[in-house]
Chains A and B, each alone.
Chain A
Amino acid sequence: MDEDPRVAVGVEPERLDPVQFGALYEQHRLAVYRYLRARTQTDDDALDLAGVTFERAFANLDRFRRRDGGVQAWLFRIARNAAIDAHRRQRPTTVLAAADVQLGRAAIEAERVDDERTDILDLVARLPDDQREALLLRYAGGLTAREIGIVVGKREGAVQKQIERGLAALRETLR
């Protein structure tokens, strides 16, 4: 995989051509994986959901509309819903606010590399839902505030505030 999850920008296509889906997959797979990895307990779970994401995307290419936010927002909306669906199946009666924190911590345990990394992910897991989601989409997925707004159904300005508040909360704790 390419190390850099950023997406080359350009004029979005009006429609997505199935023939070009391979290129789209290669362009976005790392970013989608990283976002899902931050939302799941294990690497296998993240890869499975990444597979679900691209399978669903390919099966529903006709639903893509450029004016609804572009390819990246579309893919991450699918990825987010796939993660939510998977979580529902696992814990149908769990209140997710608590479960998400558990997931975040579990992910930390599975991926413990160094203390600094663990510290900041632990703090992210404790943030309010909206802030945590915005930070994951922004810094794991590489989405813009506008794209995040499209994914989560909020306005760009509101997302920007969530990001700023989340970062400020992290800074406050880490200083």
Chain B
Amino acid sequence: MTTITEIETRLTRALAVMPSEQSVHALDQRVARAMAAPAATHRPWARSRRSFLRPLALVAAFVFLTGTAIGAVNLLERTVGSDPTWRTAWDRAEVLGLVQTDAGLTLTLERAYADVNQVMIFMTVEGLGLPSTSDGGRAAIDWTGELRDPSGRQLTATTIGGEGAVEPDISAVLQTWVGAPDPMAGTWELIVTSAGYAGGGMVPGICTVGATEPECVNPPADAMVHGTWRFQFDLPKPVGAIASTAVSGTVDGATITVTELRVSPTMISARLALLVNGTSVAYWGTSHDFMSEMSIRHGGTTFVPNSSYHVTQDPADRGPNGDENEFYVEVGSDDATGTWHIEIPAIDYHETGENDPAKGIRVSGPWTLTVTVP
């Protein structure tokens, strides 16, 4: 019987097409010309213009890094880097320093932060011997756990992968749960149930079929360490403003409604719903064309969402305004009051549930929706 590994090998070989040297040369020349274009055509770093091509689900963002002789806090701080969202959360987070040891692993919850858009934890894991890549880089690790807000509601906590390394014995974990937590001060609970290297099968980020590195030829056995690391900690009321609205606009039968706008120090998020001729669609997004991006304007500043999440993946969750997406700007604001203008130049929607832009039906706007936050 053909094994999955054999299938992977055959598939990899079948897809390993090599272009001709002449073709590669032509491609190289083309890219070189693009790079040689006048500097004026290349936009400088624009802090308020962060956008990607199309919506992507942003439920959990994470980074694992490693270090040896440096302290856990320094390691976390280095991991935070200059990313404005992480930096804001790190700087404003509650300093906790809670330590739990089980099954040979010591987890330290250094800090935690919550606003009306997301919750972030900053944690280190000590005691894992993680496989490294052949170049000494990161290897993939997983951890599982759950986070409960003061009302006892479990936030979306997924089993996730990240990166670690063998040489250091400490990993920094930054985990984000995107979504509005319970808007109250109180006691939160984080329960980590496993951490480690998943091993076996696919080794994300390291091995492709046919790779000859030792860790790929003989992948280590599942080294997930199971245990219970339970942290309880108090956080103040999540900061930020939430405006529930029913502001809508219609173009060519497509009605977009702003059902919620959340503004916090780490993120601006807008929840938008779509009905087409009074009927909910299966999926929709703003056009991924570079030249027709959604924007959110407030007080002379223009923000461009750079990710989104399809909220009503389950049709049963759809409300009277139709299928809902949340659009996220990964730069926050301390000033929520005033008028917010949301402009959507074009959308693609799908009637049949396939999350593939190629099947989308495009409607050109613009829709300009104005929300006032008192």
Contacts and interface: CB of A to CB of B under 8 A. Distances in A.
A170 B32 CA distance: 40
Interface in B113-140: 133, 135, 137-138, 140
Contact of B11 (A8, A37, A139, A154): A139
B148 interface: no
Contacts of A116: 10, 14
A111 B17 contact: yes
A109 to B, nearest CB: 14
Q: How large is the interface on A (under 10, 10 to 19, 20 to 34, 35 or more residues)?
A: 35 or more
Given A63-B51, A155-B59, A8 B30 contact: no
B359 A155 contact: no
Contacts of B208: 4-6, 139, 142
Interface in A123-175: 124, 129-130, 133, 135-136, 139-140, 142, 144-147, 149-157, 160, 163, 167-168, 170-171, 174-175
Nearest to B10: A120
A59 B158 contact: no
Contacts of A88: 358
Nearest to A44: B23
Interface in B290-333: 290, 306-308, 310, 330
A61 to B, nearest CB: 7
Contacts of A135: 11
B40 interface: no
B359 to A, nearest CB: 5
Nearest to B205: A144
A142 B207 CA distance: 9
A65 B138 contact: no
A146 B31 CA distance: 28
Contacts of B228: none
Contacts of B226: none
Interface string B178-195: 000000000000000000
Nearest to A85: B289
B27 A47 contact: yes
B1 A175 contact: yes
A8 B135 CA distance: 8
Contacts, number: 217
A129 B354 CA distance: 8
Contacts of B310: 153
A141 to B, nearest CB: 9
A153 B330 contact: no
Most chain A beta-carbon contacts within 10 A, residue among B34, B49, B355: B34
Interface string A90-123: 0000011100100000000001000011001100
Contact of B358 (A47, A87, A111, A117): A87
B70 interface: no
Nearest to A59: B42
Contacts of A47: 19, 23, 26-27
Nearest to B203: A144
A151 B288 CA distance: 12
A170 B2 CA distance: 10
Interface in A29-77: 29, 33-34, 37-38, 43-44, 46-47, 50-51, 54-56, 58-63, 65-69, 74, 77
A46 B10 CA distance: 21
Query: What are the nearest 7 A-B pairs in CB distance?
Result: A144-B204, A140-B15, A9-B137, A96-B358, A117-B14, A51-B30, A84-B358
6 contacts: A14-B82, A34-B17, A58-B34, A67-B83, A121-B14, A152-B56
Interface of B: 1-4, 7-8, 10-20, 23-24, 26-27, 30-32, 34-35, 41-46, 49-59, 61, 63, 65, 81-83, 85-86, 133, 135, 137-138, 140, 158-161, 163, 202, 204-206, 208-209, 211, 288-290, 306-308, 310, 330, 354-359
